[in-house]
Homo-oligomer: A and B are copies of this chain.
């Protein structure tokens, strides 16, 4: 055996951590393979060996984002009222997007012309989706909503994603009060409208 490998899983982790940090601190424009390499104290080819190409690096960020979101949503305490559970889910999603705006863009918009998540990449979001479906199922089984839980979960997910994106882009209102008010109005209406 010749020299010991340095381009290992450890570098993979360091690279991903660097990418997450760069993304949060400098935005999407600052996320270059060079900055990631510098921050991870690795050479440029090392990053390429570990991630394949830039799209591969972004894909890992994409997955990591869904892991974080899944953890956040999993950590939510169960609510006695399943509809209250839906509200908490929506609120936690909103908080995640507000706290990680650029990461959320990587996950739900496509700030990079390179990386375009394929259907295969969508398995990243399966845990999050399951949480939504489970909560929808609870509401339906409690007899509060009528309809297919999967459909209801998709509707809620598209809803919160649209509102969070609008809030993030400052399209939902200028003041926190108006943004809060519109979130409430929309969420209440959607919940009321789904109620049997």
Residues of A within 8 A of B (CB): 27-29, 105, 108-114, 117, 119, 122, 125, 147, 151-152, 154-155, 157-163, 165-166, 169-173, 178, 181-182, 185-186, 188-194
- Also in contact, A166 and B158, with CB within 8 A (given A27-B113, A111-B110, A194-B189): yes
Are A188 and B193 closer than 8 Å at their CB atoms? yes
Q: Would A111 and B109 be within 8 Å (CB), given that A159-B159, A173-B154, A186-B159 are in contact?
A: yes
Q: Which B residues touch A165, using CB under 8 A?
A: 108-109, 158, 161-162, 165
Given contacts A158-B163, A162-B162, A193-B191, contact A185 B152 (CB under 8 A): yes
In angstroms, Cα B119 to Cα A159, docked, is 24
Q: Which residue of B154, B160, B162, B178 is within 8 Å of A161 (Cβ)?
A: B162
Chain B residues closer than 8 Å to A181, beta-carbon distance: 151
The answer to whether residues A119 and B170 also contact, given A109-B109, A159-B159, A162-B159 and a CB cut-off of 8 A, is yes
- Nearest CB in chain B to that of A159: its residue: B162
User: Which residues of B lie under 8 Å from residue A169 when comparing CB positions?
Assistant: 108, 117
Q: Are A29 and B114 in contact (CB under 8 A)?
A: yes
What is the chain B residue whose CB lies nearest that of A179? B154
Interchain CB contact under 8 A, B189 and A193: yes
Closest to A114 in B: B29
Question: In whole angstroms, how far apart are the Cα atoms of A40 and B106 in the complex?
Answer: 32
Chain B positions within 8 Å of A172 at CB level? 154, 158
B186 touching A155 by the CB < 8 A rule? yes
Chain B's closest residue to A162 (CB) is B162
User: What are 12 A-B pairs at a CB distance below 8 A?
Assistant: A105-B110, A108-B109, A108-B169, A122-B171, A125-B171, A154-B166, A158-B165, A159-B159, A159-B186, A161-B166, A165-B165, A191-B193
